């Protein structure tokens, strides 16, 4: 029995250690690094491979909500042009993030990876805990197509969305 108690305590410590701690993310909003929605149309040279491409069009805001109605992105489907950006804003029910499945994005994988700052994992944006936090992704250089995304902590609760790049 003494061994089982040790295993239970050790297992709990590992689980708690995986859920908390680590370095605290900078307080600066990642959207601050992105140009405003009124940015001039693109006439600049393409970004270097692996470098984040600047937003050259409009920036659309998508709210991340968790409440009595469920967990969701508002709107859940967005149509944008290549060069636009999406600002994901944490409203309630966090923590939230935005992630793309690397196996389903095809040729857009490299561009998305370069355009997603502060990734927690492959094509997985930073975790937002507090209302008002935001995370902006540039879709400059992303090929036209349909890309499904989700909130990792709330995927089982069907918090999913889709961006259509024209």
Token pair recorded at residue 77: 């489907």
Determine the Cα–Cα distance for residues 82 and 165; give it in Å rounded to an integer.
Answer: 6
- Look at residue 120 and tell me if it is in a domain: yes
Task: List the pLDDT tens digit at each of the 166 positions of the chain.
Answer: 444 444 444 444 444 444 444 444 444 444 444 444 444 444 344 444 567 899 999 999 999 999 999 999 999 999 999 999 999 999 999 999 999 999 999 999 999 999 999 999 999 999 999 999 999 999 999 999 999 999 999 999 999 999 999 9
Token pair recorded at residue 151: 């909130």
The tens digit of pLDDT for each residue in 128-156 reads: 999 999 999 999 999 999 999 999 999 99
- Look at residue 162 and tell me if it is in a domain: yes
- Look at residue 10 and tell me if it is in a domain: no
Number of domains in the chain: 1
Token pair recorded at residue 90: 């944490």
Residues 6+ apart with CB under 8 A from 117: 30, 33, 52, 126
The tens digit of pLDDT for each residue in 15-31 reads: 444 444 444 444 444 44
- Look at residue 21 and tell me if it is in a domain: no
Token pair recorded at residue 146: 């349909």
The answer to whether the CB of 122 falls within 8 A of the CB of 114 is: no
- Structural domain for 131, as ranges: 52-166
Neighbour tally for 101: CB within 10 Å? 13
- Look at residue 108 and tell me if it is in a domain: yes
The pTM of the full predicted model, rounded to 2 decimals, is: 0.71
- Look at residue 38 and tell me if it is in a domain: no
CATH code of residue 93: 2.60.40.420
- Look at residue 128 and tell me if it is in a domain: yes
- Look at residue 82 and tell me if it is in a domain: yes
The answer to whether the CB of 101 falls within 8 A of the CB of 131 is: no
């Amino acid at each position: 029995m003494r061994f089982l108690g040790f295993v239970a305590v050790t297992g709990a410590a590992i689980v708690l250690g995986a859920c908390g701690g680590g370095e605290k993310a900078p307080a600066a909003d990642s959207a601050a690094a992105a140009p405003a929605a009124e940015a001039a149309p693109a006439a600049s040279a393409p970004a270097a491979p692996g470098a984040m491409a600047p937003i050259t069009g409009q920036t659309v805001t998508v709210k991340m909500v968790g409440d009595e109605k469920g967990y969701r992105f508002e709107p859940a489907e967005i149509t944008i042009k290549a060069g636009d950006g999406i600002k994901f804003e944490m409203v309630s029910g966090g923590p939230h993030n935005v992630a793309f499945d690397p196996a389903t994005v095809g040729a857009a994988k490299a561009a998305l990876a370069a355009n997603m700052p502060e990734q927690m994992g492959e094509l997985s944006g930073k975790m937002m805990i507090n209302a008002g936090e935001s995370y902006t992704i540039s879709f400059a250089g992303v090929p036209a197509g349909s890309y499904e995304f989700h909130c990792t902590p709330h995927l089982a609760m069907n918090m999913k969305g889709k961006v259509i790049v024209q």
